[in-house]
Structure 1
Amino acid sequence: MNEAPAIRLVAAEDSYLIREGLRLLLATQDDIDLVGTAASLPELVAVVGEHRPDVLLTDVRMPPGQGDEGIRAAEQFRVSQPDLGVIVLSQYVEPDWALRLFEPSAAGRAYLLKERVGDVAQLRQAIESVRTGGSMLDPRVVEALVRARTARTRSPLALLTPAETNVLELMARGLSNAGIAARLQLSERAVEKRITTVLAKLDLGPDDADAHRRVRAVLLYLADSSSD
């Protein structure tokens, strides 16, 4: 019976020491073949195009921008090489990067913290998973996503009804009470009552001028919306 072919892998990391560490670590795995390495995004694109690996293991940050190159590479390869499994390594817990990596599908994608690289069993699990269309997300990133979700759920804005949120959104757009009343086909008195309820639920208190309370309410709404 023939053995399964080795998993062909490309590693992209701008740190020479980490690249060599990965090379030595992967050399202990007989069924994983490191076919190429890269130290920048342009090198990464070229090496993947040349070797057509099964799996890409890439740092999230590398030259030329030291920004989100690993995520951008994954987005690019999802279109040009949809069968390529991608593991993105990050030094930091960045839920937004993980969400981008798994958009629009988590199939064949993994997001791990660099501290996991020394754990050969976990690294193998990630490689095998993305190779077969599976996915893997570092537990610490999951925790960060849960915390962020919980924080949004606990926002005072969660206390507002849809109708009250709608009024607050129109306030944020700069509409006056009369403008909001016309938009919602309500009386100005009804709008005033809703705004009073909104300010009370947001715990902005009656001790400040109404104009200041409205501004604070709008700022709270905008800050919460920008975190979504």
Structure 2
Amino acid sequence: MRAVIAEDLVLLRDGLSRAFRAHDIDVVAEVGDAGALVDAVNANRPDIAIVDVRMPPTFRDEGARATRLLRDRFPAMGILVLSHTIDPVLALTLASDRAEGFGYLLKDRVLDVSVFIDSVRLVAAGGTTIDPAVISGGLARRTGALAVLSDRERDVLSEMARGRSNAAIAADLYISERTVDAHVRSILLKLDLAPSAEANRRVQAALAWLLAGDESGSAPMP
């Protein structure tokens, strides 16, 4: 696997690079701003890019905008976005059009190297991972619509939006796969979402539903 790291904090960038190399991930470029990120991806065509949301020169949304550009230009490449803050609207905006090969994690998750590396491999392989804290923030914006779901269905929906399979959800929640399947069918029915056996489409449905909770009807970039 080949990776590009875009992070302006040198110590964090170096730490990510060391962790990747320790797990047989080839770091082909390390950059500190969004422009250099785009150039590095164009030159190296990596399997995944690790992108800080806020980078020079303004430290506002450069990383997020570069992510949008790269997702359009290189749809087969995975992108894992790192952020210091919980921003459900931004996360769901970046993922809603195409959930495959996308991740959004808080930087605190990097401290657990094994979990972080698993997330990198998942996203590079076309999977989806959204930080549980971000999903919780998105769910909180839907308190009215969530009234139709039971507490357990909310738990299952949160896991679905993270890209978890029924087997993984069952293990996480200590229930049977059959029970998870029943909850998924009920969730899709209650939320008027078309059922699908494809994990990626389940994620897209959950993310689209969460994003629809934004009162403005859209989710502008910060």
Q: Are the aligned partners of 1:111 and 1:137 in contact in 2 as well (CA < 8 Å)?
A: yes
Aligned to 1:121: 114
Q: 2:126 & 2:79 partners in 1: Cα distance?
A: 10
Q: 2:128 & 2:105 partners in 1: Cα distance?
A: 11
Aligned to 1:22: 16
Structure 1 residue matching 2:49: 3-state secondary structure = strand
Q: 2:60 & 2:100 partners in 1: Cα distance?
A: 24
Aligned to 1:194: none
CA RMSD of aligned residues (A): 1.8
How big is the shift at 1:86? 0.1
Equivalent residue letter for 2:16: L
Q: Are the aligned partners of 1:71 and 1:100 in contact in 2 as well (CA < 8 Å)?
A: no
Q: 2:57 & 2:21 partners in 1: Cα distance?
A: 28
Aligned mate of 1:75, from 64, 68, 73? 68
Equivalent residue letter for 2:50: L
Q: Deviations over 1:157-200 (max 9, x none)?
A: xxxxxxxxxxxxxxxxxxxxxxxxxxxxxxxxxxxxxxxxxxxx
Q: Deviations over 1:41-84 (max 9, x none)?
A: 11111111111100000111001221122221121112211111
Aligned to 2:6: 12
Q: 1:153 & 1:117 partners in 2: Cα distance?
A: 31
Structure 2 residue matching 1:226: 3-state secondary structure = coil
Structure 2 residue matching 1:107: 3-state secondary structure = coil
1:23-62 to 2 correspondence within 5 Å? 23-30=17-24, 32-62=25-55
* % identical equivalent positions: 39
Aligned to 1:226: 216
Alignment length (residue pairs): 152
Equivalent residue letter for 1:50: A
Where does structure 1 differ by over 2 angstroms across 4 or more consecutive aligned residues?
151-154, 224-228
1:60-209 to 2 correspondence within 5 Å? 60-150=53-143
Structure 2 residue matching 1:102: 3-state secondary structure = helix
Name stretches of at least 5 consecutive residues in structure 1 with no aligned partner: 1-6, 155-223
Q: Deviations over 1:94-149 (max 9, x none)?
A: 00110111030111000000000121222122111111211001011111111111
TM-score (norm 1): 0.63
TM-score (norm 2): 0.64
Name stretches of at least 5 consecutive residues in structure 2 with no aligned partner: 148-213
How big is the shift at 1:226? 3.3
Q: Are the aligned partners of 2:20 and 2:117 in contact in 1 as well (CA < 8 Å)?
A: no
| Greater Rg over alpha carbons, structure | 1
Q: 1:133 & 1:73 partners in 2: Cα distance?
A: 19
Structure 2 residue matching 1:53: 3-state secondary structure = coil
Equivalent residue letter for 2:68: E
Structure ranking higher on relative contact order (CA contacts 8 Å, 6+ apart): 2
